[in-house]
Chains A and B, each alone.
Chain A
Amino acid sequence: MELIDRLREGDEAAFRELFDAHHAMLVRLAAAYVKSQSVAEEVAQDTWTAVIDALPSFEGRSTLKTWIARIAINRAKTRAQRDGRQVPLDDEEPPSQDDRFNGFGAFKRRPADFDSPETLLLNREVRAAIDKCLEGLPEQQRAIVTLRDLEGWSSEEVCNVLGLSESNQRVLLHRGRGRLRAALEAVLGGRS
C-alpha cells in the first residue's frame, strides 16, 4: 500500500516514517525565512499540523515531499511577515568584493585546494562559518542552497516548489555557492 493511503487510514507507523524523513528538511527550509532556529522548529511543527489536516485533500499532483515543503514555505513566510523579519531581497545583491583578481581580471594567485568534506566538517570553525554564511544569505538563495545542496533535491523539484525559472534558480544557486566558497576560504586562511 502507498504511503499516502496508509496515512489516510491513520497508520501511525506511516506518519512516523514521513516525519522522520522530512522533519529536519522542514526545519532547515523554514530557517531560510524566519528569524531563529527556534521559530523554524515552531514553523515545522505547525507544518505537520497543516499537513495532517490537509492529507484528505492531497491530490498527488506533486510528490508528498514537495507538497509538504510548499506548505512549510507558506507558513514560514507568514510567520516572518508577522514577526516583521527584514531580509535582503535577492536582487539587492551587493557588487562583488572579490579581491582575488588583478586589474586585468586574472587570479592573483592560484586558489588553494580544500580538504575533503569529511575533514573540513571535523573543524568546528568550518561548521560555524557555514552556518553563519547560510544565515546571512538572502532568503531565496538560502532556500535554494538548502534544498539543492544540503537536501540533494533536483533542480526541477526546487523550481517547482519555489516557483522559479530554471535559469533564475541556477543564478541564485551559483551566487549562494559562491558566498559559501568564500566563507570556507576565509576560515581556511587561503592556505595552499
Chain B
Amino acid sequence: MMMCRDIVEADAEELTGFRKLMFRFHMSVCPSCQAHQRQMDATVATLAAMPKEDPSEDAREKALAAFRKNKK
C-alpha cells in the first residue's frame, strides 16, 4: 500500500505497473495528496512568474563594446 509520504516522495513518471496503479488510486481518493499536488503546481507556477531583472545598461554596453572590438 502507498501512504501519503510515499506519494509525495515518489517520482510519478518513474512508476510502472502495480505501483503506478496504486499511485493513481491514492491520488484519486486522498484529498490531502491532491492538496499537496496543488501546492506543488502553485510552486512551479510561482517560479515561472518570478520577474526577470532587465540587464543593466552598463552590462549591455560592456558586452556591445566587446562585440564591436571583435568586429574590427
Contact = CB atoms under 8 A, between A and B. Distances in A.
Interface string A12-54: 1001100110011001000000000000010011001100110
B44 interface: yes
B28 interface: no
Contact of A181 (B14, B43, B53): B43
Contacts of B66: 48-49, 52
Contacts, number: 131
B46 A120 contact: yes
Contacts of B68: 12
Interface of B: 3-6, 8-9, 11, 13-14, 30-33, 35-36, 38-40, 42-55, 59-60, 62-64, 66-68, 70-71
Interface of A: 10, 12, 15-16, 19-20, 23-24, 27, 41, 44-45, 48-49, 52-53, 96, 98, 101, 104-107, 109-118, 120-121, 126-127, 130, 145, 149-150, 152, 167, 170-171, 174, 177-178, 180-181, 184-185
